[in-house]
Amino acid sequence: MTRSQRQAIRNLVAEMTDLGCRREEVVAQLRSEFRVRPREAYRWAAGLTLDQVAAAIAVVTDGRLAPEGSGIAKAEKWPGPSSRRPSPSLLGALAQVYGCEVENLVDVADRLELSAAERKVLCPAMRPAETEAAPTVPTPSPSPSTSSGTAVAGDSVVESGPALVRRAAEEAASWAGWAETSNIGPIGVEQFLADTRALAEEYLVSDPAGVFVRTRALRDRAFGLLQGHQPPAQARDLYRCAGYLCALLAWMSSDLGHPREGETQARTGWLCAELADQPDLRAWVASTQSAIALWDGRLRDAIQHAARGSQYAATGTVATFLACQEADAWSLLGAADETRQALNRAADAQERARGTDAVDGLFHCGEFRHANYRAAALLRTGDAAGARDTAQGALGTCSSLSYGTTAQTRITLASAHLAGRDTDAVNAALEPVLALPPDQRLAPLVERMRDLSRALATSGGAGKTGVRVRTSIADWCADSAPRRLPISP
């Protein structure tokens, strides 16, 4: 539709409104003059933009539906080209927003594409006639009812008795048939969780930008299915998958240098956790929010997010991870006592951990990840020897597939050696980190390397080796993942 056509529609709506025309008259005129679909006509008649309708739907459904304006536009054009089939729940929400009946939003073209069950549920006024002969209207008499099971009211016939009961039962059966339909089955939901788990594990070892693109595509598929229809149990499972995918995207966004966008993803992940009623997912989303806040320099927020996540009776290793994050933030604030208390809680949580992590990969805190956090916290609170021993022990005895966690542990080890003025050991600890390809030089690693470079610059005994290491770090940071991120179309 051209700009001039849109303006002509606005002018017509304003003119008819000033003349006192009813909304149904405005809709009819729009449909006749501009050949728009019924849902689009009602939107124009209501004077709303696509984004305003999307926001109104989120309000009237208490967040159960959260479509985008582009999704509303596609639903308006259905069943035409480049359109999307509107779900019954979306049509119901649109009817609430526009103050009309659902059947007003669908025309003949829509009804031809709807199933019989959908037509009976959505368009009760347009149900096909009964196969049995329609009852004849009896001659009015003093009797309030007739033997055929109908009652006379003016010139209309109202069903009563057995006919009314039979019709009510048929309506219930029709709705039950619709309610049992689903756009995804148990196997499909199981595959969604498996794909989510694979992405969470792949992110630890692969090109982060490529995993980001695939995670976004899977999240969009989950969102698309949730705009359709499925039984409540499958809907909860889909919200659970969507929540983990949003948390993944949040973590990746922060790693790639975009913490604000990561926060937006995390908030959506929290909404999914609420809708799925999943304590484990709530805890992992809170841990993601804590990580983003820490790398964004909001240390008090990081502590609050971690503490909030610890309130949920979750299984697996998330309790260990949340306590580690609290220790991380307290150590950056220089609060030694609080850091030690958090580290003790992390150790206790690791001993008490029960069950497995539903997604694993990024959402798992094993011995190596725990040791990485402990070493960094000990270093910041002045225990360089403890940090060195913890980092060396993890690198020597624990296994980790995460290049990011391994690199952070090596940077901590190098910093501990620097505290002991062993510049050669600093260089040796950093060699594997400096060998990382640019696509794996994530924003947190860049920040840690810059901190180490500044420490080298202020260290009295850095010498020629220290200068060489600082030059290598500067070159390394200049070509990092955030600088070459190819995630735009």
152-205 pLDDT per residue, tens? 444 444 555 677 777 777 777 767 766 666 778 788 888 889 999 999 999 999
Residue 279 lies in a domain: yes
Residue 379 lies in a domain: no
Give the pair of three-digit tokens for residue 370.
Answer: 């725990």
In a shared domain, residues 228 and 270: yes
In a shared domain, residues 175 and 190: no
pLDDT in the model for residue 135: 38
Residue 414 lies in a domain: no
CA distance 16 to 243: 46
Query: Which one of 365, 392, 414 terminates a domain?
Result: 365
Residue 194 lies in a domain: yes
In a shared domain, residues 194 and 164: no
Whichever domain contains 197, its CATH number is 1.25.40.10
CA distance 461 to 457: 10
Instruction: Report which of 101, 2, 1, 28 is spatially closest to residue 12, judged by C-alpha positions.
Output: 28
Whichever domain contains 94, its CATH number is 1.10.260
Q: Which range is least confidently modeled, 73-82, 243-252, 301-310? A: 73-82
In a shared domain, residues 158 and 212: no
In a shared domain, residues 359 and 223: yes
Residue 8 lies in a domain: yes
Distances in Å between the Cα of 438 and the Cα atoms of 6, 53, 400, 442, 483 are: 48, 43, 20, 8, 9
Residue 438 lies in a domain: no
In a shared domain, residues 194 and 316: yes
CA distance 322 to 330: 12
CA distance 414 to 368: 17
- Element containing residue 156 per DSSP (H, E): strand 156-159
Q: Which range is least confidently modeled, 2-6, 123-127, 212-216? A: 123-127
pLDDT in the model for residue 300: 96
In a shared domain, residues 255 and 354: yes
CA distance 413 to 382: 14
In a shared domain, residues 266 and 360: yes
- Element containing residue 71 per DSSP (H, E): helix 69-77
CA distance 238 to 261: 23
Tell me the pLDDT tens digit for each residue of 5-53: 888 899 999 988 888 888 888 998 898 888 889 999 999 999 999 999 9
- Element containing residue 153 per DSSP (H, E): strand 150-153
Parent domain of 9: 3-126
The percent of residues in the chain predicted with pLDDT above 70, rounded, is 88
* Average pLDDT of span 233-253: 94
Can you state the percent helix, strand and coil of the chain, rounding each to 5? Answer: 70, 0, 30
CA distance 265 to 459: 40
pLDDT in the model for residue 173: 72
**451 CB-near residues (< 8 Å, 6+ apart):** 415
CA distance 42 to 196: 39
Q: What is the DSSP string of 463-482?
A: HHHHHHHHHHHHHHHHS-GG
Question: Which of 103-117, 163-177, 247-261 has maximum average pLDDT?
Answer: 247-261
Give the pair of three-digit tokens for residue 259.
Answer: 């913490």
In a shared domain, residues 96 and 162: no
Between 74 and 147, where is the model more confident?
Answer: 74
In a shared domain, residues 337 and 282: yes
Query: How large is the C-alpha radius of gyration of the chain?
Result: 31
- Element containing residue 151 per DSSP (H, E): strand 150-153
3-state DSSP call for residue 157?
strand
Between 157 and 95, where is the model more confident?
Answer: 95
Q: What is the DSSP string of 254-321?
A: HHTT-HHHHHHHHHHHHHHHHHHT-HHHHHHHHHHHHHHHHHTT-HHHHHHHHHHHTTS---TTHHHH
Tell me the pLDDT tens digit for each residue of 50-87: 999 998 998 888 888 888 999 999 999 988 888 888 88
In a shared domain, residues 156 and 225: no
In a shared domain, residues 263 and 217: yes
Between 114 and 385, where is the model more confident?
Answer: 385
Count of domains forming the chain: 3
Residue 196 lies in a domain: yes
Residue 24 lies in a domain: yes
User: Does residue 447 have a pLDDT over 70?
Assistant: yes
